């Protein structure tokens, strides 16, 4: 039995003004519709990136007040498509949450995921990032079920990529596709991005779909780009390189079954004692 899903990743550079970014998104959505995409995925920080955490906090809104969320819900409804909003800064309490949304063809919010692993790093070039100054971490892994619950999608965001146990847990519990919306550092991207995404695909036997930010942002940040769609066997099926645009693939979910049957590592885990 055929089990296919037509997926597109949108790749662009979020500006400081969400309305400007939304215009770019609408143009790219039209391109994804031209290739009959059923699921359109957007990167992390899907509609804006600010110069600092103070501005991010000042501009953040609740879900009910969030203009970007309402606009993209309308896009999904008008076009009867699934849309993954990679993430938006959502006002939750004293801090924000970095939250993904999976929007259904009727414009309804089907699933939400709050980024679990926050980007607190000291990079070799001297750049320091403290995402936890702005956001509180999530504490719940999420698998979305679409198309009458026949397709299961694991939700993750960017820095989660470096924590393979999360991906293993999603796969063991049925995720066939795992999305990794990102705004990956241009410094680490060149050496880590492809390797990590391919590794997560191989370890889980799942399709990895990673829409990414690219290029120079108004806020001064540079994102690596290279949105990828990776097969369960670890092959890069589509790579957006550095360009603003879309990548698209009609994936065959039977490949997940074939790969996991060939290498059943998800169910071969052994527990062991230690002497340390």
The model's pLDDT over 169-223, given as tens digits with 9 standing for 90+, comes to 999 999 999 999 999 999 899 999 999 999 999 999 999 999 999 999 988 889 9
Residue with tokens 């980024």: 115
What's the pLDDT at 105? 98
What's the chain's average pLDDT? 96
What gap in Å lies between CA 106 and CA 74, rounded to an integer?
9
Helix (H) or strand (E) holding 63: none
Name the 3-class secondary structure at 119. Answer: coil
Residue 98, pLDDT above cutoff 80? yes
Instruction: Write the DSSP assignment of 44-56 as a string of letters.
Output: SS-S---SSHHHH
Whether residue 60 contacts residue 90, with contact meaning beta carbons closer than 8 Å, is answered with yes
What's the pLDDT at 269? 87
Strands (E), 106-227: 109-114, 120-122, 128-130, 142-146, 151-155, 177-179, 207-210, 214-216, 222-224
Residue 104, pLDDT above cutoff 90? yes
Domains in the chain, CATH or no CATH each = 4-263 (3.60.110.10)
Which residues neighbour 132 within 8 Å (Cβ) at sequence distance 6 or greater?
Answer: 118, 120
The length of the chain in residues reads 276
Q: Which residues are paired to 267 by β-bridges? A: none
Which residues neighbour 129 within 8 Å (Cβ) at sequence distance 6 or greater?
Answer: 119, 120, 121, 123
pLDDT band at 25 (very low <50, low <70, confident <90, very high): very high
Whether residue 11 contacts residue 229, with contact meaning beta carbons closer than 8 Å, is answered with no
Residue numbers annotated as active site: 44, 115, 158
The model's pLDDT over 135-160, given as tens digits with 9 standing for 90+, comes to 999 999 999 999 988 999 999 999 99
Between 127 and 249, the more confident residue is: 249
pLDDT band at 53 (very low <50, low <70, confident <90, very high): confident
Mean pLDDT of 239-244: 98
What's the pLDDT at 128? 81
């Amino acid at each position: 039995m055929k089990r296919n899903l037509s997926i597109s990743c949108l790749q662009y550079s979020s500006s400081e003004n969400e309305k400007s970014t939304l215009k770019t998104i609408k143009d790219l959505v039209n391109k994804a519709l031209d290739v009959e995409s059923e699921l359109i995925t957007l990167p992390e920080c899907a509609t804006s990136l600010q110069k600092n955490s103070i501005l991010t906090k000042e501009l953040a809104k609740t879900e009910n007040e969030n203009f970007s969320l309402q606009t993209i819900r309308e896009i999904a409804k008008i076009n009867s498509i699934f849309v993954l909003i990679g993430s938006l800064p959502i006002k939750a309490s004293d801090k924000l949450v970095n939250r993904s949304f999976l929007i259904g063809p009727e414009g309804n919010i089907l699933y939400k995921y709050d980024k679990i692993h926050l980007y607190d790093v000291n990079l070799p070039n001297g750049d320091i990032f403290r995402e936890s100054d702005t956001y509180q971490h999530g504490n719940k892994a999420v698998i979305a079920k679409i198309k009458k619950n026949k397709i299961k999608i694991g939700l993750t965001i960017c820095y989660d990529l470096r924590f393979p146990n999360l991906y293993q847990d999603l796969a063991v519990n049925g995720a066939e596709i795992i999305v990794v919306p990102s705004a990956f550092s241009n410094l680490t991207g060149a050496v880590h991005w492809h390797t990590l995404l391919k590794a997560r695909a191989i370890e889980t036997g799942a399709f990895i779909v990673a829409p990414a930010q690219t290029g120079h942002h108004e806020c001064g940040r540079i994102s690596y780009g290279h949105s990828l769609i990776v097969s369960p066997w670890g092959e890069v099926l589509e790579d957006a390189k550095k360009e603003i645009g879309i990548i698209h693939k009609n994936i065959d979910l039977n490949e997940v079954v074939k790969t996991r049957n060939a290498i059943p590592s998800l169910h071969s885990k052994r527990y062991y004692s230690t002497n340390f």
